[in-house]
Structure 1
């Protein structure tokens, strides 16, 4: 028998806040508050959607964070999905120590410290049983860190800092998405820490490409920029996927106009590349109909092709819904479809915290995004997402 393939590495999201001149803090001992209350809530929602949250030892020492999900409703939603109340808390440590008094060790959730092998004995001695400490070889390697987390079932990793850790993952070409909050501050201090400062290692060729802007959001006086940081991997997203997504986008343009609902197109395609069914929002005069629901409703639930089919949707399938007993993510799961391709994530317009991707992945589905077509899919809904 051939050996089992290693688990897929986690989706890596970098979340950071910086001043207009690129600093994540100033040079004083006091922490510079860059985010608004609305932005802190956005970050809390990202934590709730993650399997693990990772920071560097420098951030732990400087900010002493708990890295908890603060909102009680989000914690309850995680528990309802069979997850732990808080994501796994991961610290990357170099050769320095970590004080046992840090709040992270005494807050909720499991804790993991990853460090070079030489630093492991000292960290275990100082932390005792407060956290699991695991060696990563001679140094800190981003790929090895992700492999370690993948082996523990982590499928979505949120990297919260600091700058050296952001650079570690970016220079390795292993970041999938960046959400960057830009605050109206000018720090102007050369010694102040920066977002992703220059690293000693050179960027690999596949890490230096132009990123794809997925969206911009204003939260008070802070602007949040969202980027797809990696090219679509040809081994995952194929040309056929892009072609079918364009079909779905064309379907979304057939949706009857609405000021209170998205226009979405969906196509279900068999493994041999033949179309099984298609649908679009509000199809057939039903104002409550969603695209995925419309497409799936045309298929015999016993159709054996569903198990190996792909569903293409121009928007993230909904995870909560008042107008029907089951949201679209649940309909897809019930149909047994194991591969989902979407163009863009649902923004916090009608639903504050859509978790369609997380629900599908928790059910074992492979979920892929097509950032190169996201803007085209969003444009159909420009009157909702860009009303000005």
Structure 2
């Protein structure tokens, strides 16, 4: 089930608070970071907030820069990203700036919440994800999407991806929304701004609530000073359980697809990228087809050759490959599926099943599965994996 890329964005005090308990909003960030957030908004297809944020902050969720709005329009995109609110109860004020300022808006709620919103003067009378309706309210349209008896984040994200065409989702809060997305392993990135002040009030709202989070450490991918605040960007690292597509799976498969684009072009072989990642999220090696001048080396083969065969992390590792590992090949005695099994790896994530272009009845997945390996196919990455191979298809 394909989902958008989910980016969580928040600013907190040194003691982890989103706000204080005073009557006005605590200003945590500064001008430089506000401009950065505006740029992130402009890059997104949608911006999502929870009901508490709509009620407490009354945000507009618009792109402020005229230049960025013009660039979106020039690229054939709406002037502002889709604005998304999530409310199980449907207790939202139709007079809120979320509804009364520009851009299209969507509210995800329960069946009960949809009825409450209808009575409050907002549209939305359906009883399923496919039954949302829209009408004019202020500037832009409002759609109400009921998700049944309770909120289901996976159905919500799938609807955003499949129905609304959202590929990049920016989540601006609040703490409950961020907590749920991280605990359900649905976040791909966390952009956290740390402000140099202390709130010190135990009643103040905090960014994350209690519960079960990923076991491993998040990966720090960037730090940047913006005036007197610091931006820290993190990515989750823990693979999902039971073959589910965790954020880490999407992250590493995205890299494998990018590596495929680095392959020297060929009319007799596919361009493939591969990454081998330990269970704790440590990258062990990467490779791509025809690497280092070898005209017949395959991506998985190139990556595994860089790892000590005795490395104790291999049995718990995952091989991410843009194309299903080969089950047969003429250029070398052992196909990549066999190389993976012989290395002790028992989990493979791929974007694309191998077509019969060069080998009839290719079935690397079958070879791996018959020996107990778990193979996960993420079809939302198929187009990326095919891109450097279009001349062969």
TM over 0.5: yes
- What residue ranges of structure 1 are gaps of 5+ in the alignment? 1-5, 249-264, 279-308, 311-337, 340-360, 368-388
Q: Which residue of 2 aligns with 1:156?
A: 168
Give the direction of change, closer, same or farther, for the CA distance of 1:210–1:100 in structure 2 (3 Å limit): same
1:166 lines up with 2:181 in the alignment: no
Q: Which residue of 2 aligns with 1:34?
A: 28
5 Å-filtered alignment, 1:81-92, equals: 81-92=75-86
5 Å-filtered alignment, 1:1-388, equals: 6=1, 8-128=2-122, 129=135, 130=137, 131-151=142-162, 152-199=164-211, 202-203=212-213, 207-231=214-238, 233=248, 237=252, 241=256, 267-268=263-264, 270-271=270-271, 274-275=289-290, 365=384
What SS class does the counterpart of residue 119 from structure 2 fall into?
A: helix
Q: Which residue of 2 aligns with 1:284?
A: none
CA shift for structure 1 position 80: 1.3
Q: Distance in 2 between matches of 1:45 and 1:110?
A: 19
Q: Summarize deviations over 1:269-296 as a string: whole Å, max 9, x none.
A: 6336633899xxxxxxxxxxxxxxxxxx
Q: Distance in 1 between matches of 2:187 and 2:150?
A: 19
Q: Distance in 2 between matches of 1:169 and 1:234?
A: 16
Q: Summarize deviations over 1:203-238 as a string: whole Å, max 9, x none.
A: 4xxx33211000100000000000012447558746
What SS class does the counterpart of residue 3 from structure 2 fall into?
A: coil
CA shift for structure 1 position 109: 0.9
Q: Summarize deviations over 1:259-316 as a string: whole Å, max 9, x none.
A: xxxxxx95556336633899xxxxxxxxxxxxxxxxxxxxxxxxxxxxxx99xxxxxx
CA shift for structure 1 position 150: 0.9
Give the direction of change, closer, same or farther, for the CA distance of 1:12–1:58 in structure 2 (3 Å limit): same
Structure ID, larger Rg: 2
Say if 2:175 and 2:209, in contact at 8 Å, map to a contact too.
Answer: yes
What SS class does the counterpart of residue 225 from structure 1 fall into?
A: strand
CA shift for structure 1 position 127: 3.8
Give the direction of change, closer, same or farther, for the CA distance of 1:235–1:56 in structure 2 (3 Å limit): closer
What's the C-alpha RMSD, in Å, of the aligned pairs?
A: 3.2
Give the direction of change, closer, same or farther, for the CA distance of 1:274–1:171 in structure 2 (3 Å limit): closer
What SS class does the counterpart of residue 172 from structure 2 fall into?
A: strand
Q: Which residue of 2 aligns with 1:282?
A: none
CA shift for structure 1 position 28: 1.1
Give the direction of change, closer, same or farther, for the CA distance of 1:182–1:83 in structure 2 (3 Å limit): same
Q: Distance in 1 between matches of 2:56 and 2:250?
A: 41
CA shift for structure 1 position 97: 1.2
Say if 1:165 and 1:196, in contact at 8 Å, map to a contact too.
Answer: no
Give the direction of change, closer, same or farther, for the CA distance of 1:266–1:150 in structure 2 (3 Å limit): same
Q: Which residue of 2 aligns with 1:253?
A: none
Q: Distance in 1 between matches of 2:94 and 2:385?
A: 39
Give the direction of change, closer, same or farther, for the CA distance of 1:85–1:198 in structure 2 (3 Å limit): same
